[in-house]
Amino acid sequence: MALDQTWYTEQWAGQGSAISLKIAKKVHDEQSQYQRIEIYETETFGTLMTLDGLVMVTDRDNFVYHEMMSHPALFTHPAPKRVLIIGGGDCGTLREVLKHSTVEQADQVELDERVTRVAEQFFPELCEKNADPRARLHFTDGIQWVADAKPDSYDVIIVDSTDPVGPAAGLFSETFYMNCFRALRPRGIVVGQSESPLFHPDLIVSMHRAMRAAGFADTATLQFHQVTYPSGWWSCTMACKAGSLATIREDAATGKDFPTRYYNAALHTAARALPEFLVQALR
């Protein structure tokens, strides 16, 4: 049954399933040097950004992803001061990172400047920290940035990238994690979006393997609900250079001095509890 044109539909490659969002109108459409960038006004999810036809951000549910890509890692690290965000062009992750008063500098390295310029126009609330003096926006390849980074440059590296295909594929490799290991300070943490536990458990397993092969002492996957991403079930996977990811700054997380809508200390701990099929796969 062909849906009429008032629906945006993302078919999930190879999964025989899809998501559709009722559209009021398309308000932007351009081909950047790297990807097709489209913006829609939807009937119930607010503004929608797609890159090459895939959902990146909606007003209604982006808070889950941006909070879970930033606060677990930042409340696990003992004292995060210098943060690197790779990708993150919609700037929602940058906004969450800069809610932490301990953070002194946040480098955001997004390949495609057009993503940020379009986000500034259509998602101004996600970009509200872009002028923060601690924010440094760079538009270049994050893989090369980390390869070139001096040792002991960052406390936390957040990989807020598109799926592991095309320019983002290298952001999930052992070589990349080895470069992250060198660029991170002694208690450093790297965290990457790690796709759907239901659709992509193999990717999650391969990320753990690559992170450990790169020398990281501990790895962990956190699961969370992400309605508009493939399967509606998403994850991030993190690794630390030393110590354990199980010990978080509980008091700081519980007594955080900024608002969130999804993240809290209890959910942080709970998100580490994984479904049995994934526990078995990670053994």
Is 232 among the residues that bind ligand SAM (CB under 6 A)? no
Instruction: Kindly state the smallest distance separating residue 276's Cβ from ligand SAM, in Å.
Output: 25
Is 107 among the residues that bind ligand SAM (CB under 6 A)? no
Best CA proximity match to 93, nearest among 109, 78, 77:
109
Q: Which of 161, 219, 223, 237 binds ligand SAM (CB under 6 A)?
A: 161
Instruction: Kindly state the smallest distance separating residue 161's Cβ from ligand SAM, in Å.
Output: 4
Question: Segment contacting ligand SAM (CB under 6 A): 74-82, 135-143, 180-188, 260-268?
Answer: 135-143
Between 219 and 235, name the residue whose CB sits nearer to ligand SAM.
Answer: 235
CB closest to ligand SAM, residue no: 87
Is 61 among the residues that bind ligand SAM (CB under 6 A)? no
Residue type, 198: L
SS3 assignment for 52-91: CCEEEEECCCHHHHHHHCCHHHHHHCCCCCEEEEEECCCC
Residue type, 224: F
Instruction: Name which of residues 110 to 129 contact ligand SAM (CB under 6 A).
Output: 110-112, 115
Is 88 among the residues that bind ligand SAM (CB under 6 A)? yes
Q: Which of 68, 86, 118, 126 binds ligand SAM (CB under 6 A)?
A: 86
Report, as residue numbers or ranges, the catalytic residues.
160
Q: Please state, in angstroms and rounded to a whole number, the distance separating the CA atoms of residues 265 and 157.
A: 21
Question: Segment contacting ligand SAM (CB under 6 A): 130-138, 161-169, 173-181, 211-219?
Answer: 161-169
Is 221 among the residues that bind ligand SAM (CB under 6 A)? no
DSSP 8-class letter at 159? E
Instruction: Kindly state the smallest distance separating residue 252's Cβ from ligand SAM, in Å.
Output: 25
Is 39 among the residues that bind ligand SAM (CB under 6 A)? no
Q: Which of 42, 61, 64, 89 binds ligand SAM (CB under 6 A)?
A: 89
Q: Which of 72, 80, 87, 197 binds ligand SAM (CB under 6 A)?
A: 87
Q: Please state, in angstroms and rounded to a whole number, the distance separating the CA atoms of residues 55 and 245.
A: 30
Question: Segment contacting ligand SAM (CB under 6 A): 71-79, 84-92, 207-215, 275-283?
Answer: 84-92
User: Is 279 buried (19+), middle (13-18) or exposed (0-12) by CB count in 10 A?
Assistant: exposed
Q: Please state, in angstroms and rounded to a whole number, the distance separating the CA atoms of residues 54 and 41.
A: 15
Best CA proximity match to 229, nearest among 264, 196, 274:
196
Q: Are 96 and 65 in contact (CB under 8 A)?
A: no
Q: Which of 153, 193, 194, 237 binds ligand SAM (CB under 6 A)?
A: 193
Write out the H or E segment, with its range, that includes residue 267. helix 265-271
Residue-by-residue DSSP string for 7-50: EEEEEETTTTEEEEEEEEEEEEEEE-SS-EEEEEEESSS-EEEE
Residues 6+ apart with CB under 8 A from 190: 156, 157, 158, 159, 177, 180, 181, 184, 211, 216, 238, 239
Is 207 among the residues that bind ligand SAM (CB under 6 A)? no
Applying CB under 6 A, the residues found at the interface with ligand SAM are 34, 51, 56, 65, 86-90, 109-112, 115, 141-143, 160-162, 167-168, 171, 193
